[in-house]
Structure 1
C-alpha cells in the first residue's frame, strides 16, 4: 500500500500545482483558495479585471487501459465564469470546457450510487494497424476542447 497510496492520494494535488505553475508561466494571475469546498482549485483574474473559477481534474498514467481520460462521478450544476481543466497524464492532453460546455457534453448517471453525478470520457481504444496493438485516442467530438495553452482563460 505504501507507495501506491501516497501516489494516488497526492497525485491530484500535484497535478493542480503543476498546471497552475504552467498558467503562471503564461502570465496568468492565479489565486489558490486555502480550502476546496466549492470545487474551485484556482481563481484567475483576467486582464479586464473579471474573475473566473477553475476546477482541475487529472488522470494518472497508472489508470486502467482505456480510462486515460475518464472523469467520473462529478457533482456539477451550471455556474457562470466557471471552467473545467481536464488533464490526462498518459495521453499528455488537456481539455478546457466551460460549465455550459461540460453540461452539454457530459453524461448524467440515471441510477445507482452515483445517481445525478456526471461523467465525461474523452477517449476510447482502437487497434493501431501500424503496430497491431490497442491504442488510446481522443474521441473526435472532443478534439475542439483540446488546449495546448491557457488562452481561453486570458
Structure 2
C-alpha cells in the first residue's frame, strides 16, 4: 500500500471508529490535531461529567501483519486514556485501556523498538484467514469499557 493510501486508510478508519462510538450512544468530540495521542474525546454524563481520551489505530487487510500494532509510544498512560484498535482483515475492534497495554503488551528490548509497545491481536492461519487471538477476547468489541468507572488507586 502506497503511503498516501496508507495515510488515507488510517484517517478513514478513525472516522469509522468514531461512527461506531456514535452508534453506541457515546458523545464524541474530534480533535483537530493528533499531537497528544488523542484522536477523539468521549464525554460521559456522570456527575460530574468524565472525559475519556481515545487513540485509534487501524491495520489494513493488505498489511504484512494485519493484526500487529507495533512501535507504539504511550506518552502518559492513565485511567481515562484508551486505545481502539481495528484490524480490517479480522474485521474486529478491540478497546483497551492504556494502562492495560503498558502492563500486557510486549516491549521492545533494543534498536528502534526499544521501550515501544507491541500488540499482536490476531493470528494468520495457513489458509490466509486472519482471526482474533483468544488472549485478547475480553477487549473485542468492548466499547462498554469506556463507560466503566476507573479503579481507585
| TM-score (norm. length: structure 1) | 0.86
Q: Decide whether aligned partners of structure 1 residues 16 and 72 sit closer, same or farther in structure 2, where only a CA change above 3 A counts.
A: same
Please give the secondary structure, in 2, of the residue aligned with 1:113: helix
| TM-score (norm. length: structure 2) | 0.86
- The CA deviation at 1:108 is 0.7
Matches within 5 A, 1:2-151: 4-48=2-46, 49-64=49-64, 67-76=65-74, 77-127=76-126, 133-147=127-141, 150-151=143-144
User: Which stretch has the larger CA shift, 97-106 or 39-48?
Assistant: 97-106
Larger C-alpha radius of gyration, 1 or 2?
Answer: 1
- The CA deviation at 1:105 is 1.8
User: Which stretch has the larger CA shift, 74-83 or 37-46?
Assistant: 74-83
Structure 2: gaps of 5 or more residues: 148-153
C-alpha separation between the residues in 2 aligned to 1:21 and 1:134?
29
- The CA deviation at 1:123 is 1.4
Q: Say what the alpha-carbon RMSD is for the aligned residues.
A: 1.7
C-alpha separation between the residues in 1 aligned to 2:128 and 2:4?
30
| Equivalences, count | 144
- The CA deviation at 1:94 is 0.6
